Amino acid sequence: MGLTSQKYVVTTSTGKTYETSFTSGFNGVWFSAMGNHVAFLSQNQLYLDGQIIKTFNEGSPKACDLFVNSDGKGATQIKNNTISFSDGDYFEYPLKVAIVYVGGKPYYKWMALENKEVVVYQKPY
């Protein structure tokens, strides 16, 4: 018995429509932090505006642990107490990750507890 696909259609309030088929389930849909792109998560694949931008090697991540990069070419993931960026950077024990704007440009900003001190980090989104 072969896999069958299920079609999903997401329509935004501005009238954009995204139709896609998944053979393994639909795990969520959300607007990217930039607000003008629609992200889908199906098992271990992340879609942006209907196109696959990342396949995760270690199973399906949680949608709330993903931030789609501003260039739309990858994602930042929080997993196992580590925030991992698509450029290879990673930091351990992030607390309260947020997207902030400084001088009109988006940045990741988070706190971490290091050597009994709270450290604030910031990295371009």
Q: For residue 57, is it within any domain?
A: yes
Give the Cα separation of 68 and 85 in Å (integer): 10
Q: Looking at residue 60, what is its pLDDT?
A: 76
Tally of domains in the chain: 1
**What average pLDDT does range 20-39 have in this prediction?**
69
CA atoms of 79 and 66, how far apart (whole Å): 9
**Is residue 1, in this structure, part of any structural domain at all?**
no
pLDDT tens digits, one per residue of 109-118: 999 988 999 9
65 φ/ψ angles, rounded to the nearest 5 degrees: -100, 10
The reported pLDDT for the residue numbered 1 is 47
Is residue 104 situated within a structural domain? yes
Burial 42-80 (b: 16+ CB within 10 A, else e): bbebbbbeeeebbebeeeebeeeebbbbeebebbbbbee
> Listing from the earlier edge strand, what are the strands of the sheet with 117-124?
94-102, 105-114, 117-124
Domain of 14?
Answer: 6-124
- Which of 20, 29, 19 lies closest to 68, judged by CA? 29
* Amino acid of residue 38: V
Residue 40 included in any domain: yes
DSSP state of 33: T
The average pLDDT across 18-29 equals: 67
Cβ atoms 66, 30 nearer than 8 A? no
Q: What is the pLDDT of residues 69-107, one digit of tens each?
A: 777 777 888 988 999 998 899 999 999 898 899 998 889
